[in-house]
């Protein structure tokens, strides 16, 4: 208790000095103290539809969580493949339903652990994967035909997917038995994150090649997770997060169509990745608006006929940027609220952050508590008893309509540049996000937005906390593993395979097939990406923004 008397509706006693009479949502809309039927959008029934039916405002499946809960994933990966494998087994034993692999920065950028540019970053923010040998260790003992695996990897996403497939085949599992997702969303890297390798055009070609490859070779795999999460973490408002993400989605659809694919052949495997913040009502409205807009785009703009092509299926992660190093246990409360918003918004899978992630990599106990948070939501509440409990809510329906209009307006501004790529090259999305981040930081500094423990309700001394630390000796150990790999493989076979990859990259054939054979011959991630760099070059952002 804060010690201030609070009696809802009792006039001055309910007033808090840090609360303005005019509350504003994170997207900039005034939030009214009371909503009525007059605030509902016109033709509400047609905008809502039924659960599992167009325009999917109420959810992509008729029964949603009443039949089964969402997939509970926990994002994990650090140090060596062996260490990460141990954490995955711990999470599976604790009841997680799917794995979510974090890779270190050298792997994300397509460099081997012994490359000079990788120094100091090996195993730090995720697991180091240099070759098929590391992937074997990462997946040891995991039933790949029964576990859904998400891999947060973008520029070299196809490389890591192929390594995953090759290890599965070594264990007697065909590609048709595998189920999972690669993020593979390169456009948001140019906007907000920076782990790109190649320029946009060849990067889009690689994405389209992955769509075509997976349709034939790994048909149950989600070939892309179009991500707004990282833009939100960089400062995007909920409206910006959805607008820029869906604009990128349109760009990927156009690239696949230009490569000769039919929309209903690849669109059902598209998925999305969003953040869940503590502003619960706006987040619920955000997810509902996103589904409605995407359904309309796919049906009306791209002529999709398959209902699965119109369904916006998405994974959610709670907002890491909202976690504080001050009083870190309070993050348990934040994460529970954020997870609740994701579930009420109809997510298909969820990762709940650990309370200590603002300090360091999560400890085993913290990761388990994060999973337990999801399990409490799924099994101790009545959230799974009914579909879309907020349907018809005055405030949520009004917010959904406001967000839908704002997102459509922002998407129009993106496409005024010609395409999402053209807008990226003009710096539009990056500039808009930076301006929003600056405004938000100013509001926190001024105390206009309360962050408990940071700018209000602080304590003088923090309890000591021992974070998980990555052993710096990992870098030398990975270098030794790479040396043994190179000494023990057939160098002529590797060179032939890389030459075939280079030829495919210079032409217009699907590069994943020669890439797969190079990896099978024990070429490294760095060698494969280096070969493509020789042909496609590397991206250099403009200095103009």
pTM for the complete prediction? 0.91
Q: Tell me: pLDDT of 1 over 50.
A: no
Tell me: the pLDDT tens digits for 403-437?
999 999 999 999 999 999 999 999 999 999 999 99
* Percent with pLDDT over 70 in the chain: 95
Q: What single string gives the DSSP state of each residue in 140-175?
A: TT--TTTSEEEEE--TTHHHHHHHHHHHHHHTT--G
CATH number of 64-445: 3.20.20.240
Q: Tell me: pLDDT of 543 over 70.
A: no
- Give the single-character DSSP code of 10: S
Q: What single string gives the DSSP state of each residue in 397-459?
A: HHHHHHHHHHHHHHHHHHHTTSSHHHHHHTTHHHHHHHHHHHHHHHHHHTTSS--BTTTBS--
Strand ranges in 337-421 using DSSP code E only, listed in sequence order = 349-351
The answer to whether the CB of 444 falls within 8 A of the CB of 451 is yes
Q: Tell me: pLDDT of 14 over 50.
A: no
Tell me: the pLDDT tens digits for 320-334?
999 999 999 999 999
* Cis status, amide bond into 104, omega within 30 of 0: no
> Cα separation of 190 and 196, whole Å?
7
pLDDT score of 11: 38
Q: Where are the domains of the chain?
A: 64-445
> Cα separation of 200 and 85, whole Å?
34
Site of tokens 């609360």: 19
Tell me: the pLDDT tens digits for 437-448?
999 999 999 999
Rounded to an integer, the average pLDDT of 208-226 is: 96
Mean pLDDT of the chain: 93
pLDDT score of 490: 98
Tokens of 368: 């388990």
- pLDDT band for 77, please (50, 70, 90 cuts): confident
CA distances from 433 to 54, 276, 424, 438 (A): 31, 17, 12, 9
Report residue 74: phi and psi, to 5°: -130, 120
Task: Characterize 441-451 residue by residue with b for buried, 16 or more Cβ atoms within 10 angstroms of its Cβ, and e for exposed.
Answer: eeeeeeeebeb
């Amino acid at each position: 208790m804060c010690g201030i008397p609070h009696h809802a509706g009792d006039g001055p006693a309910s007033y808090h000095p840090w609360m303005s009479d005019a509350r504003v949502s994170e997207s900039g809309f005034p939030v009214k103290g009371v909503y009525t039927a007059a605030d509902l959008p016109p033709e509400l029934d047609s905008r809502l539809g039924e659960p599992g039916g167009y325009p999917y405002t109420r959810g992509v499946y008729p029964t949603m969580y009443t039949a089964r809960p969402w997939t509970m994933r926990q994002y994990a990966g650090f140090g060596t493949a062996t260490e990460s494998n141990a954490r995955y087994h711990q999470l599976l034993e604790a009841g997680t339903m799917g794995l979510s692999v974090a890779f270190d920065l050298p792997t994300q950028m397509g460099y081997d652990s012994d490359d000079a540019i990788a120094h100091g970053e090996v195993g730090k923010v995720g697991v180091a994967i240099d070759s098929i040998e590391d992937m074997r260790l990462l997946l040891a003992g995991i039933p790949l035909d029964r576990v859904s695996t998400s891999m947060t990897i973008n520029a070299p996403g196809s490389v890591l997917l192929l390594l995953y497939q090759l290890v599965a085949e070594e264990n007697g599992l065909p590609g048709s038995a595998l189920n999972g997702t690669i993020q593979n969303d390169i456009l948001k890297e140019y906007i907000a994150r920076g782990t790109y390798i190649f320029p946009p055009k060849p990067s889009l070609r690689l994405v389209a090649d992955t769509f075509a490859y997976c349709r034939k070779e790994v048909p149950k795999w989600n070939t892309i997770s179009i991500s707004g999460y990282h833009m939100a973490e960089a400062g995007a408002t909920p409206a910006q997060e959805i607008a820029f993400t869906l604009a990128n989605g349109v760009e990927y659809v156009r690239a696949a169509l230009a490569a000769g694919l039919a929309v209903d052949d690849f669109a059902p495997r598209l998925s999305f990745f969003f953040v869940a913040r503590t502003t619960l009502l706006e987040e619920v409205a955000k997810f509902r608006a996103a589904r409605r807009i995407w359904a309309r785009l796919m049906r009306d703009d791209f002529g999709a006929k398959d209902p699965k092509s119109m369904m916006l299926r998405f994974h959610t992660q709670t907002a890491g940027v909202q976690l504080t190093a001050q009083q870190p246990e309070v993050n348990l409360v934040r994460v529970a609220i954020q997870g609740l918003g994701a579930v009420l918004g109809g997510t298909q899978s969820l990762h709940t952050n650990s309370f200590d992630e603002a300090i360091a990599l999560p400890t085993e106990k913290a990761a388990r508590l994060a999973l337990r948070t999801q399990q409490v939501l799924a099994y101790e509440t009545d959230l799974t008893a009914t579909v879309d409990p907020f349907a018809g809510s005055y405030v949520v329906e009004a917010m959904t309509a406001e967000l839908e209009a704002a997102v459509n307006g922002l998407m129009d501004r993106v496409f005024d540049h010609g395409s999402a790529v053209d807008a990226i090259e003009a710096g539009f999305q990056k500039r808009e996000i930076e301006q929003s981040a600056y405004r938000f930081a100013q509001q926190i500094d001024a105390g206009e937005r309360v962050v408990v423990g940071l700018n209000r309700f602080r304590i003088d001394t923090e309890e000591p906390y021992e974070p998980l630390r990555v052993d710096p000796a990992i870098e030398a150990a990975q270098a030794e593993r790479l040396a043994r790999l190179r000494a023990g493989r057939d160098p002529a076979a590797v060179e032939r395979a890389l030459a075939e990859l280079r030829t495919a990259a210079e032409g217009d054939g699907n590069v994943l097939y020669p890439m797969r054979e190079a990896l099978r011959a024990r070429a490294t991630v760095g060698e494969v990406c280096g070969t493509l760099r020789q042909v496609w070059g590397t991206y250099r952002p403009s200095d103009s923004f």
